[in-house]
Amino acid sequence: MATDTRAGMEPGWNNSAMQRDGESWPTGTGARQFMLLGAGATHLQLLRLLAKKPVAGAQWTLVAGAADSFDGDRLADFVAGERSMAQCLTDLEPLLRHSGVRWLPMAAVGLDANARTLRLRDGSALTYDWLSVDCAAVQERERIAHTLPGAREHALFVQPAEVFANLWAKVRALDPGRLRSVAVVGDGIAATELALAIRSCLPQAAISLVVGAAEPLAQHPPAFRRLAAAALQRLGVTVLRDSATGVRAGELLLGCGARLACDVPIIAAGAAPPSWLASSGLALDSAGAIRVDAFGRSTSHPDLFASTGQPSAAPALAANLAALLSGGSALQPMPLRRGPVFLACFDGSAIACWGPVCAAGRLPHWLRQRLDA
């Protein structure tokens, strides 16, 4: 178990009896246990809400492996030099201190939903009365290496995002003459933004985006895809509609048999829910994620919630948790509508899509910055 050496923190846990506005938060062995697994955007916003309006009746514990939460949505901004590392990190300690939530700095490696037990990396186990899961998808190296041999030895993975950010800072410190070509493997928003971010900070390098056989951004409207394709072409990112089949030192192997010269291969594909969910006993969807109802509860285990990873889901989650703790049954549905989807181009412009409406230019760039301030 890790030890937090900051002032006021007990080894392994944050103080079990927090103070807020002169009031102590009740703890004790008889309290019902509410576990928050993961420090995703929904849980971070939930901590802010709990700091303003506490929910009594349970002992709250956040299970998260790091003292800082890196916002993966800002990774491309960091790569482009538009945000610092500090601007991408959320310090958990103040949120925990003000919300009265205990912190266990440990990663989960297993879950038995029938026994309400969470297994941790150090071999210990936690039992809970309710569990809320807000974990990012992960790139499991061993699984990816089966379809992309050599990736573990020769490529950078974008997750965990903070690890990639630190490695990228070292890449940028290299002699620019050594960075002649970079290839990003992936076909979604994150991969496309990352390729554009790298183009903005490495103007002398050849930047490729390897998207597989399908059209890039295939899950988005045609107008959005056309605007994105035009931006990639205008900014000099080569899109290869072929699959990456292997990675070697200095090159990426393609499905057509060609070899793409590549000084820095970056894997921005293959993210999936943690593999241990498969043996959890939970009902899962076709992608391996927890299947939930309109209220964000597991369809097979109503004592477990799984978040959308969106801050906008936090108010409904907080209200539902408070209702459960008070014995109520009236729950709030999770919000269905989301805001616009953005693709930053890192040249002072962006592409935005909200439903069927798509636009490109400086106004979407301004709106993206405004919403992410």
Chunked into runs of 10 residues, the chain (373 residues) has average pLDDT values of: 31 36 38 92 94 87 88 95 94 93 94 97 95 93 94 96 95 86 96 98 96 91 97 98 96 97 96 95 96 96 91 92 84 84 97 94 96 81
* Chain-centroid distance, C-alpha 94: 21
Residues 290 and 246 in one domain: no
Residues 67 and 109 in one domain: yes
Q: What CATH number does residue 255 fall under?
A: 3.50.50.60
CB atoms < 10 A from the CB of 193, how many?
25
Cβ atoms of residues 277 and 109 within 8 Å: no
pLDDT value at residue 25: 32
The structure tokens 């030895």 sit at 153
In a domain, 50, yes or no: yes
pLDDT value at residue 20: 34
In a domain, 353, yes or no: no
Residues 307 and 194 in one domain: no
Residues 208 and 241 in one domain: yes
Residues 218 and 123 in one domain: no
Residues 150 and 187 in one domain: yes
Residues 204 and 305 in one domain: no
Domain count, the chain: 2
pLDDT value at residue 14: 42
pLDDT value at residue 301: 98
In a domain, 361, yes or no: no
Cβ atoms of residues 100 and 50 within 8 Å: yes
Range of the domain at 167: 141-271
* Chain-centroid distance, C-alpha 97: 23
Residues 132 and 276 in one domain: yes
Residues 258 and 294 in one domain: no
In a domain, 337, yes or no: no
Residues 118 and 165 in one domain: no
Residues 95 and 118 in one domain: yes
Q: Which of 251, 271, 291 is the last residue of a domain?
A: 271
Distance CA 291, CA 349 (A): 37
pTM: 0.87
pLDDT value at residue 54: 86
pLDDT value at residue 145: 94
Omega prior to 160 cis, within 30 of 0: yes
Residues 213 and 304 in one domain: no
